[in-house]
Homo-oligomer: A and B are copies of this chain.
Amino acid sequence: MDFELTLDARKQQILKAVVSDYTETGVPVGSVALAIKHLGSWSSATIRNELSTLVEIGYLLQPHASAGRIPSDRGYRYYVDFLMEEEQISAAVRRQVDPVFPTRPAAVEELLEAAAMVLALVTDAVSIVTGPRALGARLKHLDVVSLDSEHALLIVLLDGNLLQQHVFPLTVQTDQETLSRISAELNRTLRGLDPDAIEALPPLPGDDAVTATLRAETIAHVLLVMRSDGAGDDTVVIHDGVRNLLRQPEFGDVVRLRQVLDIVEEERALGQLLSSLDLGKAVQGVHVVIGAEAEVEQLRGCSLVLTTYRAGDAARGTIGVLGPTRMRYSQVSPRVRYVSQRVGQALERLLG
């Protein structure tokens, strides 16, 4: 197992042909098929030699002694990084995607669900979308509604029109009038501040003990909400398109499918997985995680194609798909990017 990083032109061409043939048919591809379909300029014997060295240096695999070759994870990696030519977004795809994003969407959640739906549709894989994390969580608006004598509902609007609600107990009796007065006052003083600034604020002169207590409690819970939000662990994770996996022969085995679903349906696990991935080294914004690279045993044979959507400087989140490693990256990758851009634009419109 030699670890050269560069392949000569012919090896590249052959690797590329193997990947694209295999992704289409799902059948190990042999030297003769390659000679005929893709690489007429060399005989099957020559290609056989090249194939066997490609196996030796780890870019291809041979399922069994007398079978054709399939790409290894390393082979896919090389393909994605150096050989792949992204396909254009077709008009048909545009027609499917665009109507999903209205010029003025109503709320973040619906937007993301629609995005997940259409992304699953155009990629034939499971789509995954995480809720936007406010980047510099600043307070835009707050409101306190009395529920009963002992509880109030705190409504917090953060930068990016991220609406949060939170029920908290009241230690002193009060009424809606008082709560409204307090929230109006807090709106004036706290607007535009981030959690640290709010915490650093000197206590306001309280007209009376009740008001002071309530104000302090409210502020404490505002901080709680603002801080718990950006944290990430409990952000919403939406997924859609599980049925698409069933069309792939690699999930004909139900056990395999279950392993994958165990990850996908467990929102917490999925969220952690996504945040553990470093999306930094993305190519043109799209990051491809191939098979074992995710270091999650259950995702053997699966790949992730992920990217980050951004709404100006206000918020960002992760969007992408999970599918079999044998995936049409050249098609999926630009489509993920396209939907991601649409999400970003729609969010920007939403955030005003």
List the interface of chain A (C-beta within 8 A of B): 104-107, 140-141, 143, 145, 147-148, 151, 153, 155, 157, 161, 163-167, 180, 184, 187, 240-243, 246-247, 251-252, 254-255, 257-258, 261-262, 265, 350, 352
Assuming A104-B151, A147-B161, A246-B257, what are 8 further A-B pairs, CB within 8 angstroms?
A107-B164, A140-B145, A141-B145, A145-B157, A151-B352, A163-B165, A242-B265, A246-B258
Q: State the 7 A-B residue pairs at the shortest beta-carbon distance, nearest first.
A: A147-B352, A243-B261, A246-B258, A141-B145, A107-B165, A148-B352, A246-B254
Among candidates B106, B164, B243, B258, residue contacting A265 with C-beta atoms closer than 8 Å: B243
Q: What is the count of identical protomers in the complex?
A: 2
Contacts of A157 in B (CB 8 A): 145, 153, 155
Is the beta-carbon distance between B240 and A265 smaller than 8 angstroms? yes
In the complex, what residue of chain B is closest to A169 when comparing beta carbons?
A: B104
When C-beta atoms are compared, the residue in chain B nearest to A257 turns out to be B246
Please report whether the interface of chain A is mostly helix, strand, loop or mixed according to DSSP: mixed
On chain B, the residues within 8 Å of A151 by CB distance are: 104, 352
Bound: A262/B244 CA distance, A:
10
Cβ of A104 and Cβ of B167 under 8 Å apart? yes
**Nearest-neighbor residue (CB-CB) of A142 within chain B:** B143
* Alpha-carbon distance A254/B249, docked complex (angstroms): 10
* Interchain CB contact under 8 A, B167 and A106: yes
Are B166's CB and A163's CB within 8 A? no
Bound Cα distance from A193 to B180, whole angstroms: 19
- Nearest B residue to A247 via CB reads B258
> Could you list some 12 contacts between A and B, CB below 8 A?
A141-B143, A141-B155, A143-B143, A148-B352, A153-B161, A155-B157, A155-B163, A167-B352, A180-B187, A242-B265, A246-B254, A251-B254
CB distance from A154 to the nearest CB of B (A): 10
Nearest B residue (CB) for A120: B265
A107 to B109, CA, bound (A): 14
Nearest chain B residue, comparing its CB with the CB of A253: B254
Q: How far is the CA of A105 from the CA of B166 in the complex (A)?
A: 8
How many angstroms between the C-alpha atoms of A176 and B171 in the bound complex?
A: 31
Closest to A260 in B: B243
Q: Which chain B residues border A247 with CB–CB below 8 Å? A: 258
Contacts of A184 in B (CB 8 A): 180, 184
Q: Quote the shortest CB–CB distance from A228 to chain B (angstroms).
A: 9
Question: Which residues of the other chain, B, contact A243 by a CB distance below 8 angstroms?
Answer: 258, 261-262, 265
Best-surrounded residue of A148, A167, A241 (most CB of chain B within 10 A): A167
Minimum C-beta distance from A21 to chain B (A): 24
Q: Which residue of the partner chain B has the closest CB to A191?
A: B176
Q: How far is the CA of A187 from the CA of B144 in the complex (A)?
A: 13
Kindly list chain B residues whose C-beta atoms are within 8 Å of the C-beta of A180.
184, 187
B106 touches A165 (CB 8 A): yes
Residue from A140, A151, A243, A265 having most chain B Cβ neighbours under 10 A: A243
CA distance A145 to B161 in the complex (A): 10
Tell me the smallest distance from the CB of A218 to a CB of chain B, in Å: 15
Nearest CB of chain B from residue A224's CB, rounded to whole Å: 10
Using Cβ atoms and an 8 Å threshold, which residues of chain B touch A147? 161, 352
Complex-state Cα separation, A155 to B157, whole angstroms: 9
